[in-house]
A and B are shown apart, each in its own frame.
Chain A
């Protein structure tokens, strides 16, 4: 019986894992209502045949597969048709407008003022007068557009030049050289070895993580001790 339970658990786990990969990645807070419903039912369906050996495993597998197909169909429809998207996902609702809090919208969404305050505090605002618009998105999150006088300053507002943003790529992690990323960055192992030596490390074995960005800045995190950043002559091909 124990073997049966072990193998049933493995089969269901792998099946759910594969199906979740097929369905695509979404964080819990970003799920649309129909996705959340499917996840909740999935959890329940997966556990019943896993533990109840009198039930064939197929009693869990078939509903899970059916729901995956349903999920794909609903996702496809909501992607292709605006009408279906509104029907399946609902539509964003303005809960704070320039006039203030929209009472009718709150009533429609079954929200109270505490929920609204919690939502806007989550966006970094604590006073209602700071907000021009607050919108309840279809996935249940509240997004806020502040009045311009309360909006955070940007480099553009201050008319200052900032260092260009640059995306680092991991080339060495947990004792392994990531060859694919090395090729992407168009550097080789010799280049890495030379740079870690120049940074004061003897061997790659002592290093936990190395990243390099498109501007040639290398971040070296040793297994023991503080991280080091070095500027290299490599200026990157901006391949990534």
Chain B
């Protein structure tokens, strides 16, 4: 009987954890993608003086830095650090008013954000 109870507890915990993960990943990735699209727009709008978007990029990086430790509990740290590194690069280029490199990194970040949902989500490709 004790064994059955242990197995039921394990099963319920697994289901809760998996569901929580699916919901959390969806939410986090949607927010990240939204931020990146916004970043892409304001980068284009401020082509002449990209330093203007310093506050926005800092805000996006802070948001990511806040959720990254939670994601580290569930996902490979190396996958997550690519997003962190790219955000740090964009921030550096923005501060130095380097539009070309900043725009290239924003594109790269958009690619990561789109890929993340696929890599972290529950889908046939990951299943097989």
Contacts and interface: CB of A to CB of B under 8 A. Distances in A.
Contacts of A69: 7, 10-11, 14
Interface in A113-154: none
B77 A22 contact: no
Contacts of A62: 14, 17
Interface string B1-18: 001101100110110010
Contacts of A65: 10, 13-14
Interface residues of A, number: 14
Interface in A41-91: 53-56, 58-59, 62, 65-66, 68-69, 72
Interface stretch (B55-63, B67-75, B106-114): B67-75
Contacts of B72: 56
Nearest to B80: A54
A66 B13 CA distance: 10
A208 B106 CA distance: 74
A54 B77 contact: yes
A58 B7 contact: no
A58 B77 contact: no
| Chain B interface main SS type | helix
B77 to A, nearest CB: 4
Given A22-B6, A72-B7, A66 B75 contact: no
Interface in B61-99: 72-78
- Determine chain A's interface SS by DSSP, over half rule: helix
Interface residues of B, number: 16
A92 B10 CA distance: 33
B11 to A, nearest CB: 5
A55 B72 CA distance: 8
Contacts of A22: 3, 6-7
Given A65-B14, A69-B11, A56 B73 contact: yes
A68 B17 contact: no
A98 B71 CA distance: 66
A58 B71 CA distance: 12
A58 B3 contact: no
A198 B10 CA distance: 55
9 contacts: A54-B76, A54-B77, A55-B77, A58-B74, A65-B10, A68-B7, A68-B10, A69-B7, A72-B3
Interface of B: 3-4, 6-7, 10-11, 13-14, 17, 72-78
In the A-B complex, list the 3 residue pairs whose CB atoms are closest, starting with the nearest: A54-B77, A72-B7, A54-B78
Given A55-B77, A56-B76, A58-B74, 9 more contacts: A22-B6, A56-B74, A62-B17, A68-B7, A68-B10, A69-B7, A69-B11, A69-B14, A72-B7
